[in-house]
Amino acid sequence: MAGVLLVLAAIDVAGTHTVSGQPETDTSTGLLTGRGQNQRRSGLMWGAALGTTGAVLLVGSVTSLLWRRPVLEVGDAGLRLRIAGPHRFLDVPWDEITWVHSAADGDSDEVVPPRVLLVHVRSSVRYPSALWGATWDGNTLVVDADSWNRRPEDVAAQVDLALDAWRTRPPGGED
């Protein structure tokens, strides 16, 4: 919305002057005065700045809506969670995970507690403590799953199946 508003403001300031005032003109000739020419140049500069900023916001917003990156990936080596930073994964190997569940965050003050994915590891010491959208509760990683497009119960069941498959694989690691 901010991008749309900025683009509309840029169009108005640089050209249509529907909301912003018109540059000063000489009433007898209808031409821009010296002050009006300065106002016109200023309007064009502001219009360019507002339009560029609005266009960048619009492109970024549409891109992020169309190209969503996963928060969690289930792989052969373990879980990859995009919680170490905006573009950084936290890798949790299968041999570190003891169980995976979903729950409602009981510590929340909200009327409807947010849904979370719980990943219990043997020791949280080797992992970073400052995470994006996740916290540590002892050795349990509590990942905010309230905005996911898949229910955390379904994700936990899928991860649990992958964990069981890893635990029951034949010696040597190959199926």
The DSSP annotation for 42-98 comes to: HHHHHHHHHHHHHHHHHHHHHHHHHSPPPSEEE-SSEEEEEEEETTEEEEEEGGGEE
44-102 pLDDT per residue, tens: 888 888 888 888 888 888 887 777 677 788 888 888 888 887 778 889 999 999 999 98
Clarify whether residues 155 and 96 are in a common domain.
yes
Clarify whether residues 118 and 153 are in a common domain.
yes
* Residue 30 within any structural domain of the chain: yes
Total structural domains within the chain:
2
Report whether pLDDT(175) > 60.
no
Label residue 11 by pLDDT band (50, 70, 90). Answer: confident
Clarify whether residues 40 and 81 are in a common domain.
no
- Which residue range is the domain that position 105 belongs to? 72-167
Clarify whether residues 93 and 161 are in a common domain.
yes
Instruction: Read off the CATH number of the domain in which 126 is found.
Output: 2.30.29
Q: Which residue has the higher pLDDT, 44 or 113?
A: 44
* Residue 51 within any structural domain of the chain: yes
* Residue 175 within any structural domain of the chain: no
Query: How far is the C-alpha of 110 from the C-alpha of 63, rounded, in Å?
Result: 31
Query: How far is the C-alpha of 164 from the C-alpha of 161, rounded, in Å?
Result: 5
